[in-house]
Amino acid sequence: MIKEQIQQLSKDIFGDTVANRRHLHANPELSFSEVNTSAFVAGKLEALGLTCQRMADNGIVALIQGEKPSENVVALRADMDALPITEANDVPYKSRNVGVMHACGHDAHTSSLLGTAQILTSLKSQFGGTVKLIFQPAEEKLPGGASLMIKEGVLENPKPQAVIGQHVMPLIDAGKVGFRAGKYMASTDELYVTVRGKGGHGAQPQQNIDPVIITAHMLTALQQVVSRFADPKSPTVLSFGKVIANGATNVIPNEVYLEGTFRTMDEKWRKEAHTRMKKLAEGLCESMGASCEFNIMKGYPFLINEEKLTASTRGHAEDYLGKENVLDLDIWMAAEDFAYYSQVADSCFYRLGTRNESRGITSSVHTPTFDVEESALEMSTGLMAYLALKQLGN
């Protein structure tokens, strides 16, 4: 049976998959700078006899054509970029690029998809249809590599009936995966705000227009956009993580600078909230004698897993791994540019467990001590190959 063949092939190439992951982990590159990573991926694909097409500068697309007759197409996506984090792990494959680290598992995603490509190319005579491999740059930075690749036609010629992606999850034990149908991850917008007043001596507040106090009022008031205008059934988050008032104990500054994030799962409400936040902040500042520059950088949309595709993909995962190893996921207010694919094509984005408490591999993504349990890579390569062939109708 094809399942047993895939499982054996994933074992056979496990060493290659780990070696690829460790090479990528040791040589991370930031968003929109994945030059060497892209070349590495292309070299591996070309060694399999595949033709690579470049998109969005560093993106790589390749097709695996089954030899049996079928016009069905499925796309598999992996992201390749790293984060501006200095790695704290003491491992042989520690990042050699100081200040840059694969702290979100994209090295695991890329090496897994390379392994899946190895499996599928060796099985070409046994399936029909086309598997489109998408190695995507710049997931971590707006406007997101997915949006650029879609604009350049990654979902055309041929057009996939489904797009499938996986992402590591350190909350889930290695050997397990998680699925959620419907809305899964939030949209994300970046907020950049400057409150301008009139600075001066802290002992003479009557002569100043204090932007610090005004900002404090504004931060509190903005939370009412969430608590009093958002539908309680629609998850919404507004957080400010950066506030700079560069005065002193007795110096009121001229301005205060803020950065924050706004996230939700409803595009209509998202647009309304943008208007409400901006109007409230500007009006409040004006009423207190200050001015406000409220800029919103619109980011990724919310991610939605198509119901039927996700149900069938989950069923195939249960068949491949055993029902006890397939978990339900809750909504997650983090964001992912895979959402762009989900907005224009039937898509399924699932989670790959990479946790191993006995080895201390428990750190969250985006932290200096993040790592993955590499045994998960054997399962990840085979599972994605199996899901692709099942979605193609084989």
First to last CA, the chain: 11
Torsion of CA 133, 137, 141, 144, to 10 degrees: -50
Beta carbons of 85 and 366 less than 8 angstroms apart:
yes
E strand or H helix at 218, and its extent? helix 211-229
Active site residues: 81, 139
Contacts of 292 (CB under 8 A, 6+ apart): 193, 194, 195, 196, 218, 281, 282, 284, 285, 286
For the chain, give the number of residues: 394
Give the CA distances from residue 201 to residues 181, 206, 207, 236, in Å, rounded to whole numbers and listed in that order. 57, 10, 8, 39
Q: What is 297-339 written as a DSSP string? A: EE----EEE-HHHHHHHHHHHHHHH-GGGEEE---B----TTH
Angle at 351 between CA 107 and CA 393, to 5 degrees: 100
Query: Which residues is 246 bridged to in the sheet?
Result: none
Distance CA 374, CA 282 (A): 50
Contacts of 115 (CB under 8 A, 6+ apart): 10, 13, 16, 17, 20, 377, 380, 381
**Tokens 């979902």 appear where?**
155
